[in-house]
Amino acid sequence: MMQQRWNRRKTHLHLLALLFVFFMVFTILHNEHSIRQIHENSDPESHRQDASISFVKPNVLISRNGASEILDRFSKCNGTRDYSGRKVSWSGRKPESNRRKVRSETCDVFSGKWVFDNTSYPLYNESECPYMSDQLACHKHGRTDLRYQYWRWQPHGCNLKKWNIAEMWEKLRGKRLMFVGDSLNRGQWISMVCLLQSVIPADKKSMSPNAPLTIFRAEEYNATIEFLWAPLLVESNSDDPVNHRLDERIIRPDSVLKHSSEWEHADILVFNTYLWWRQGPVKLLWSAEENGACEELDGREAMELVMTTWADWVAARAIPLKKRVFFVTMSPTHLWSREWELESEGNCYDEKTPIELESYWGSGSDQPTMRIVEKVVNKLSSEVTVLNITQLSEYRKDGHPSIYRKFWEELSPQQLSNPASYSDCIHWCLPGVPDVWNELLFHFL
């Protein structure tokens, strides 16, 4: 009898021990889950999806009737409604650390001043580059003051790597270097071609006709320097390199697939986008929208959607394939001389010297947009290099074509009587400022 009573008590003890173990395991797991949730919710970089916001997965190929619908300059919105608030979802890989990798040098090559140097500059002659654009050939179109060609960028406390044509060609041997973006990036592409083409024999180099993708080839290096017209990075109705001045700008904010089908084969990619987002609201036509209805959103918010879509592609394709990716920050405009000369009423017209006030910042550069770029690029780890050309270019009010370029539209007598009224204070003369952008690219390659 005593033995049976002891066995029952022993069984109860075993059950109590098991229950205690289960309780402890449950408590530990529950606490770990709670701690993880607290950590995720307190992490500002964590990817949270608010239940009240609709998220769209980017860069998904959607076809109807067996074919994808491509936007072109004839595309129209089938009605426009208010922006729904939906966002682009991106689950790209997290950075390896909270800080971008720093080169062994401690000097900030983007902080410095312009030094007049008519010994080393210009790095090429305008008239000797057969690929020069009439939009950028200022001397050819009447500019007699050529001091804009002789300024060298001098960082504080260090030097830029000295430009070397032979070394740059060796870096490009067997590779495709592609500039992707708007007319400012096209100017940087033309600059790079002019910087490099002189050492290639005439029968060993060629340029394809102007097209969305334009290619300069150097046979002996088995290399190309290319430009892809994609001013908004994502697919848009402005993707024609010539006929893109449209009353209604329509984009697919969640897809770069049209353009990435071209750029994904390049080895070195140089992206930019900025000015086209400052031209009023844009229409959003989401890829999954079957009825062709658009939403309207202001440019800066639309650009943030697009940068996320671009980052999704870079994280998924460029980084795993070890491509070199560069992003060029905004190119400033100089539309109001009162910003550097109080009470004046002009713009960049007839300006002959750089701005000397260090840390000058004009309204032609939008700092909130810079922060958007920084926020997105920082999530891509250190494998995207930012070429921060904005402030160094801010100083160069003298570097724009102004009236010294080809204008494709006929100018009125009223305009001709007031040169500042039609001055181009957006693009840059060549040789000039974009050559320094390419020296920076060479420095970081």
DSSP for 302-354?
HHHHHHHHHHHHIIIIITTTT-EEEEE-PPP----GGGTSTT----STT--S-
Torsion of CA 242, 245, 246, 249, to 10 degrees: 90
Query: Do residues 140 and 426 lie in contact, with contact meaning Cβ atoms separated by under 8 Å?
Result: no
CA distances 261 to 105, 233, 255, 408, 425, Å, are 36, 12, 11, 31, 33
C-alpha–C-alpha distance, residues 368 and 55, integer Å: 23
From 181, 254, 247, 246, select the one nearest 214 (Cα to Cα): 181
Residues carrying an active site annotation: 183, 424, 427
Residue 237's contacts (CB-CB under 8 Å, 6 or more residues apart) are 71, 72, 73, 74, 75, 246, 248, 249, 250, 251
Residue 3's contacts (CB-CB under 8 Å, 6 or more residues apart) are none
Secondary structure letter of residue 68 according to DSSP: P
Secondary structure letter of residue 139 according to DSSP: T
Task: List strand residue ranges (DSSP E) for 161-285, in order.
Answer: 176-181, 205-207, 213-218, 223-229, 250-251, 268-271, 282-284
Query: Do residues 178 and 260 lie in contact, with contact meaning Cβ atoms separated by under 8 Å?
Result: no
Task: List strand residue ranges (DSSP E) for 70-184, in order.
Answer: 80-82, 87-88, 112-116, 151-155, 176-181
From 253, 178, 260, 274, select the one nearest 223 (Cα to Cα): 178
Residue 206's contacts (CB-CB under 8 Å, 6 or more residues apart) are 216, 217
Secondary structure letter of residue 265 according to DSSP: T
Order across the sheet with 250-251: list the strands. Answer: 80-82, 294-297, 282-284, 250-251
C-alpha–C-alpha distance, residues 14 and 20, integer Å: 10
Query: Do residues 286 and 253 lie in contact, with contact meaning Cβ atoms separated by under 8 Å?
Result: yes
